[in-house]
Amino acid sequence: MKNSPNDRNSSCRVRPGAVLLALMATVIVTSIASGQANYKVLHNFTGGADGNEYMGVINAGNWFSSGLVLDPKGVLYGTTAAGGAYGFGVAFALKQGDSGAWTETVLYNFTGGEDGAYPFAGLILDGAGNLYGTTSGGGAGSCTNGYTDGCGVVFELTASADSTWSESVLYRFTGGADGAQPEARLTWDAAGDLYGTTEAGGLYATEACPGTGFSYYFDNGCGVAFELTPSSDGSWSESVLHRFTGGPDGGPEIGPLTIDSAGNLYGSAQRGKNVQGLIFKLAPSQTGWKESILFALDDVKSGADAFSLTGLVFDQAGNLYGTTFWGPSDGGGGVVFKLSPSPLGTWRWSTLHSFGSFDPSAHPVGGVVLDSAGNVYGTDVSGGPGSAGEVFEVTPASSGWAFKGLHAFQNQPASGPFSLILDTAGNLYGTTCCSSNSAGVVFEITR
């Protein structure tokens, strides 16, 4: 039997429990009031010691994973995939001062060694304010992804009494059956166990993931879904829940996992054999975890050849929301979708908005967030004037769903917005990639 969260070093690690679990599954906040959206840059990265978001576009998978997390005191936390003191990325905090200005503090500089390299994914918080995340490289193992050696790590950042932060590596991937190169945000269950996915490893292939057409990067398998469980002595152990084969079950490039109140996990995979994207469920059973396919995106007549790399989010009724990068049809610019469960166990697909490939907005990348009024917010990387990306809103209407652009990026100073989060007042926060004027920004949108 697993120890309760309070049994595990409770003086410094308060596990998330049901409250934070609910926050991971669905976002319930006040809706953004009607009116003109106000955009503000909170921090403009220089690409030097403060971090660099440019690595985000090198890996297509990272388009879904860079993001922010907000603590109860209003402090924003995030990562940059590159930059910092050693060039391997940083974890940072942004705090608003009495004057209203925001100040960045680098919490940790990744060295590229056993501590990890290139933290593509965003961070999550526990109840004590400790931060958890993944790096794509560094750590251990024989993986080489073109930038650094190592198969990636799962890490924890903890603040000391003098407000300095230290890193603890919870797990180093070997590149074998345990997986390799985690690049998606982690999630919690109510007992304090961590869940995530890797881009490679699993040992279903020796050189390339079969059925995907990839002959690079995905050596030694098509990725895994994993669980990390803490013990009373502070160590963590990994369990592989599912090894993706590259067949109908999906893989590689697996998105982050979302958990429901029963402990089932939901995610998306870019592709598999004869499948251009799918939504899957992992359910615990007495004989292990069982994967079922909720929806194969090729089955969507209006969204064929779509693929999804982004995380999914639940509403209070148990519906799932997400985005695809492509579709409908080969040249489409992606969709915002809703999946609704039926009493028979099947899921019904609804397209909330379809992006044309030549529309001002196209290719949503960061998933979506929901407010209490049922409005859906997301980002795309090719939309808006100058095709520099856009933050958008999709709202329920009497005749379906209405689309509205909230802010178009025009390389002033950045482009390519990533994932969004909402605070309790309905303000939006996010990060972008880069431009000739910037190494990325953290931004806020209010009305």
Domain-located, residue 446: yes
Q: What is the pLDDT at residue 253?
A: 78
Residue type, 169: V
Q: Residue 167: is it exposed, middle or buried by C-beta count within 10 angstroms (0-12/13-18/19+)? A: buried
Which amino acid appears at position 30 of this protein? Answer: T
pLDDT at 245: 86
356 domain-assigned: yes
Phi, psi for 347 (deg, rounded to 5): -125, 135
Q: Residue 412 is part of which domain span?
A: 327-447
Could you tell me where the beta strands, DSSP code E, fall in 117-162? 124-125, 131-135, 153-159
- Tell me whether residue 266 is in a domain: no
Q: Amino acid identity of 212?
A: T
Query: Would you say residue 415 lies in a domain?
Result: yes
Q: What is the pLDDT of residue 67?
A: 84
* Rounded Cα gap, residues 166 and 171, in angstroms: 16
The tally of domains found in the chain comes to: 1
pLDDT of residue 21: 36
**Which letter does DSSP use for residue 410 in this model?**
-
CA distance 368 to 337: 10
User: How crowded is the C-beta side of 249, counted as CA atoms within 13 Å?
Assistant: 17
pTM exceeds cut of 0.85 = yes
What is the model's pLDDT at position 276?
74
In a domain? residue 64:
no
Which residue numbers in the chain have pLDDT < 50? 1-35, 57-64, 212, 214-218, 301-305
Q: Is residue 424 part of a domain?
A: yes
Angle at 369 between CA 365 and CA 375, to 5 degrees: 115
The sign one gets for the Cα dihedral 281, 431, 120, 147 is positive
> Does 443 fall in a domain?
yes
Residue 142 located in a structural domain:
no
* Whole-number pLDDT of residue 383: 61
Q: Taking a C-beta distance cutoff of 8 angstroms, is the pair 340, 352 a contact? A: no
